[in-house]
């Protein structure tokens, strides 16, 4: 079997975001996050719940195994029993996220998705992010609009954000978390061949990483994980388009 490619490495990095979640509803948005959630369910997280986006609970292969009506989703969402992985047009050092618009909100240069479910997601349950193109345009000092709440804003809300937890940020350069004293973004691992200097140069705020520190390398897929990705979960290779 050939060596893993970057897209396969990112699938595994996304899968790791759900490790230890137990019986939570996994809600991945995007091809690579979806493959990550399905891979996690098929290997080390068998208790994860996954839907087809409508009302059916499905296995990693897409086989129906249960029913979840729309009204039940909110019972999970509002009680912290869901873990979503969303995208981010902008994200700052404390995890504030923007998917609404770019530029002055009163006269934006670009209109994006809008707030969508980001405010409720980030207040009510664990949230992770997938960013396929790590750059100064996305990792910014200050978001033009805040859709998803970061740790600084969640702290200001107090008990209203009791389920707030930002688990991971996965990009094409590495994996990041907020496990620092002030909950600022930290380098958790770097993908093979990526240096700390390179990832900092592509980030618009200081990352938590000691100069010269021995940063871990992102875990490579096992032989069985590679087989599942290539032969079972995504034999057509749709994951590759997300990193072009």
Extract the tokens encoding 212: 């010269």
Quote the pLDDT of residue 76: 80
pLDDT tier for residue 57 given thresholds of 50, 70 and 90: confident
Q: Show the tokens assigned to 191.
A: 């993908």
Long-range contacts of 116-122 (CB under 8 A, 24+ apart): 116/147, 117/84, 118/86, 118/147, 118/148, 119/147, 119/148, 119/149, 120/77, 121/77, 121/82, 121/84, 121/86, 121/148, 122/97, 122/148, 122/149, 122/154, 122/161, 122/164, 122/166
Question: Domain extents for the chain?
Answer: 6-238
Residue 210 scores a pLDDT above 80: no
Res. 156: pLDDT tops 80: yes
pLDDT of residue 99: 95
Name the 3-class secondary structure at 189.
strand
Query: What's residue 212's pLDDT?
Result: 58
* 54 Cβ contact list (under 8 Å, min separation 6): none
Q: Is 80 exceeded by the pLDDT of residue 221?
A: yes
Please state the rounded mean pLDDT for residues 100-115.
88
Name the least confident of 106-115, 133-142, 223-232.
Answer: 106-115
pLDDT score at 68? 82
pLDDT category at 241 given cuts 50, 70, 90 is very high
Q: Which CATH number fits domain 6-238: 3.10.129.10, 3.40.50.300, 3.40.1080.10, 3.40.50.720?
A: 3.40.1080.10
pLDDT exceeds 80 at position 213? no
Rounded to the nearest integer, the mean pLDDT of the chain is 92
Q: What is the pLDDT of residues 63-103, one digit of tens each?
A: 888 888 877 888 888 888 999 999 999 999 999 999 998 99
Please state, for a pLDDT cut of 70, what percent of the chain lies above it: 98
Of the listed ranges 79-83, 94-98, 127-131, 219-223, the least confidently predicted one is 79-83
Q: How far are the Cα atoms of 95, 97, 127, 196, 218 from residue 188, in angstroms, in the given order?
A: 15, 19, 16, 11, 8
């Amino acid at each position: 079997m050939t060596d893993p490619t970057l897209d396969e490495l990112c699938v595994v990095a996304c899968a790791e975001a759900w490790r230890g979640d137990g019986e939570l509803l996994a809600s991945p948005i995007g091809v690579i996050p979806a493959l990550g959630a399905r891979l996690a369910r098929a290997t080390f997280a068998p208790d994860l719940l996954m839907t087809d986006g409508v009302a059916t609970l499905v296995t990693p292969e897409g086989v129906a195994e249960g029913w979840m009506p729309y009204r039940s989703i909110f019972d999970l969402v509002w009680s912290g029993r869901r873990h979503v992985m969303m995208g981010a047009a902008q994200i700052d050092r404390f995890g504030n996220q923007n998917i609404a618009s770019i530029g002055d909100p009163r006269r934006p240069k670009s209109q994006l998705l809008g707030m969508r479910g980001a405010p409720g997601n980030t207040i009510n349950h664990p949230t992770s992010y997938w960013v396929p193109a790590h750059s100064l345009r996305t990792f910014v000092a200050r978001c033009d609009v805040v859709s998803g709440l970061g740790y600084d804003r969640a702290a200001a809300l107090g008990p209203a954000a009791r389920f707030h937890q930002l688990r991971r940020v996965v990009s094409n350069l590495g994996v990041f978390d907020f496990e620092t004293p002030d909950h600022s973004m930290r380098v958790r691992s770097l993908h093979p061949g990526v240096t700390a200097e390179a990832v900092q140069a592509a980030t618009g705020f200081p990352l938590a990483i000691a100069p010269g520190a021995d940063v871990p390398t992102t875990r490579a897929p096992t032989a069985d994980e590679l087989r599942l990705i290539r032969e079972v979960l995504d034999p057509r290779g749709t994951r590759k388009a997300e990193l072009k």
